[in-house]
Amino acid sequence: MQRPMIIHGGTPLRGELRVNPAKNAALPILVGSLLTSEPITLEEVPRLRDIEVLLELLAHLGTRYAWEGRTLHLHTPEIKTAKAPYELVSKMRASFIVLGALLAREGEGEVSMPGGCAFGPRPVDLHIKALRDLGFAVEEENGTFSASRNGWPEGEVVFDRPTVGGTEQVMLAAALGPTEVTIVNAALEPEIVDFANFLQMLGVHIEGAGTAKMTIRGAETLGGGEYKIIPDRIEAGTYLLAAAATRGEILLEGANPEHMDALLSKLRESGHTVVTGTDWVRLKSTSEPQPLNVDAREYPGFPTDLQPPVSAYLATVPGVSLLRDLVYPDRFTHVGELARLGAELHLKERVLAIHGRRLSGARVKAFDIRGGGAMVIAALAADGETIIEGMQHVSRGYEDLENRLRSLGANVFSEPVPLQQAAD
Ligand code: UD1
């Protein structure tokens, strides 16, 4: 259990930050390290709870790893077991894709139903259908999937809808062998392109990553190497929205603005000045921002992971904003908590109407990573004190949040641990 965060809000964020590497690019890359018996070095890996959770699972499967500052060394000379147990998989949905890696390297794998953030149904049916379409035998019993291959995966997978995890699952499953697999309606996210670049470094032949049709030609064996992960567009977006919500000014260095078109365009539409260079973004807030209509969609649309943060921002903007999430239509667990800070929000037929105003502090809860990001943004903008519980969810995705906010002038601290607890 992590201590609640206390924020005395109402002051504009000002300053500079270096964007961290992307959690959602790091996770599949870590899983991809299972494909090879050669050592891999990843530079600048974010020190996040989700990464630690996945490393625990990889260690169980046979990976030896060592941190050297933020550099991570991974080596899996052999897979010790092809079974990923419930205790390790249930903590995070992203771990489900170890199935694809185990199938490629060992020809079989057993993985429990995944856990993860609690915002509406997040099935794995598309993963399973795709693996079956490639010729793998997949059985489900008591919440555990067992899969194996007879021949090598071959042919075409046509996804009903783009799925990030499903696309990664197929890329992993098809990475080894003499055959070729094509994904139609593949996810287009920058994290998929980064993953493809990593797999290519290992020796997998991939064409069309970042387009709707991707072809993966397996290799006989894969090598190792050193790789640097792309910047986190969701973390960057959260800080931009926090600066906008507090009417501040921020310079993000080490960002990739090309990955952030949808957000940057919405921030400009709202009236803020946004200037970009090849690897930086600067936002200077307007004091009279305009409300927005936002539909979260697959990349290159507005990211669903920034939908809770943007609703927190819009809760500070006078007027009526309308918001929908077309990827996770029920991703609105943060709405009740935002209302505690004085925002007026109405959710009807999966459309969220936000009547923004000046917020005031209250005691609130974070239920998941990005919903927590939303609460932090709202708290920074709200007058007076906000206490945010459930920070363990937030630290899954935001590295060193407290210090980073403090460096931008925010008045943030953790609730002191009660004496009794501190003595234990
Ligand atoms: C990834 C991201 C997550 C982000 C999401 C959408 C990681 C670790 N997580 O999650 O932060 O919010 O993309 O951008 O990268 N679906 C099915 N059946 C399936 C798989 C997905 O119906 O088998 C649905 C989902 O419920 C959702 C949509 O497809 O409505 C997209 O989900 P998907 O892209 O697979 O999300 P994740 O890979 O889990």
Confidence of residue 90 (pLDDT cuts 50, 70, 90): confident
Give yes or no: residues 163 and 281 share one domain. no
Mean pLDDT of 324-331: 95
Last-in-domain residue among 194, 217, 240: 217
Retrieve residue 39's tokens. Answer: 């050592």
Q: Note the pLDDT tens digit of each residue in 21-39.
A: 999 999 999 999 999 999 9
How far is the C-alpha of 152 from the C-alpha of 135, rounded, in Å?
8
Give yes or no: residues 36 and 15 share one domain. no
Q: Note the pLDDT tens digit of each residue in 244-289.
A: 999 999 999 999 999 999 999 999 999 999 999 999 999 999 999 9
Q: Are 139 and 110 in contact (CB under 8 A)?
A: no
Nearest atom within ligand 1 for CA of residue 234: 11
Sequence-ordered strand ranges (E) for 53-121: 64-68, 71-75, 83-84, 108-112
Give yes or no: residues 58 and 120 share one domain. yes
Q: What torsion do the CA atoms of 310, 312, 318, 319 make, to the nearest 10 degrees?
A: 60
Last-in-domain residue among 191, 217, 243: 217
Nearest CA to ligand 1 atom 38: 165
Give yes or no: residues 46 and 187 share one domain. yes
In a domain, 305, yes or no: yes
Distance 124 CA to ligand 1 centre (A): 9
Give yes or no: residues 32 and 9 share one domain. no
How far is the C-alpha of 285 from the C-alpha of 272, rounded, in Å?
5
**With b meaning 16 or more CB within 10 Å and e meaning fewer, what string describes 333-363?**
bbbebbebbbbebeeeeeebebbbeebbbbe
Q: Are 272 and 237 in contact (CB under 8 A)?
A: no
Q: What is the pLDDT of residue 289?
A: 98
How far is the C-alpha of 295 from the C-alpha of 56, rounded, in Å?
36
In a domain, 225, yes or no: no
In a domain, 226, yes or no: no
Ligand 1 pocket: which of 50, 122, 127, 368 to mutate (most atoms within 8 A of CB): 122
Q: Note the pLDDT tens digit of each residue in 351-378.
A: 999 999 999 999 999 999 999 999 999 9
Give yes or no: residues 157 and 41 share one domain. yes
Mean pLDDT of 342-354: 95
Give yes or no: residues 91 and 136 share one domain. yes
Amino acid (one-letter) located at 67? W
Distance 165 CA to ligand 1 centre (A): 6
| pTM > 0.85 | yes
- 396 close to ligand 1 (CB < 6 Angstrom): no
Give yes or no: residues 183 and 312 share one domain. no
Residue of higher predicted confidence among 306 and 44: 306
Q: Residue 1: is its pLDDT beyond 90?
A: no
In a domain, 227, yes or no: no
How many separate domains does the chain show? 2
How far is the C-alpha of 380 from the C-alpha of 375, rounded, in Å?
9
- 86 close to ligand 1 (CB < 6 Angstrom): no
Give yes or no: residues 308 and 178 share one domain. no
Nearest atom within ligand 1 for CA of residue 305: 12
Q: Residue 118: is its pLDDT beyond 60?
A: no
Nearest CA to ligand 1 atom 22: 123
Which domain, by its residues, includes 187? 23-217
Give yes or no: residues 182 and 259 share one domain. no
Distance 395 CA to ligand 1 centre (A): 20
Strand 155-158: give its sheet, edge to edge: 155-158, 180-184, 213-217, 205-207
Q: What is the pLDDT of residue 143?
A: 85
In a domain, 322, yes or no: yes
- 296 close to ligand 1 (CB < 6 Angstrom): no
Retrieve residue 71's tokens. Answer: 């550099």
Q: Residue 150: is its pLDDT beyond 90?
A: no
Tell me the percentage of the chain whose pLDDT exceeds 70: 96
Q: What is the pLDDT of residue 148?
A: 97
In a domain, 223, yes or no: no
Ligand 1 pocket: which of 164, 229, 302 to mutate (most atoms within 8 A of CB): 164
- 397 close to ligand 1 (CB < 6 Angstrom): no
Q: What is the pLDDT of residue 299?
A: 98
Mean pLDDT of 193-197: 98
In the chain, what is the greatest distance between 2 CA atoms, to the nearest angstrom?
A: 63
How far is the C-alpha of 10 from the C-alpha of 413, rounded, in Å?
15
Q: What is the pLDDT of residue 423?
A: 39
Mean pLDDT of 104-118: 84
- 122 close to ligand 1 (CB < 6 Angstrom): yes
Last-in-domain residue among 159, 187, 217: 217
How far is the C-alpha of 56 from the C-alpha of 66, rounded, in Å?
12
In a domain, 371, yes or no: yes
Q: What is the pLDDT of residue 13?
A: 98
Amino acid (one-letter) located at 219? A
In a domain, 65, yes or no: yes
Q: What is the residue-averaged pLDDT of the chain?
A: 94
For 170, the enclosing helix (H) or strand (E) is helix 164-173
Nearest atom within ligand 1 for CA of residue 370: 11
Give yes or no: residues 58 and 121 share one domain. yes
Q: What is the pLDDT of residue 424?
A: 41
How far is the C-alpha of 156 from the C-alpha of 25, rounded, in Å?
24
Q: What is the pLDDT of residue 422?
A: 41
Q: What is the pLDDT of residue 386?
A: 97
Q: Residue 421: is its pLDDT beyond 70?
A: no
Q: Which amino acids are annotated catalytic?
A: 117
Give yes or no: residues 309 and 326 share one domain. yes
- 305 close to ligand 1 (CB < 6 Angstrom): yes
For 68, the enclosing helix (H) or strand (E) is strand 64-68
How far is the C-alpha of 199 from the C-alpha of 193, rounded, in Å?
10
Q: What is the CATH number of the domain that holds 361?
A: 3.65.10.10
- 164 close to ligand 1 (CB < 6 Angstrom): yes
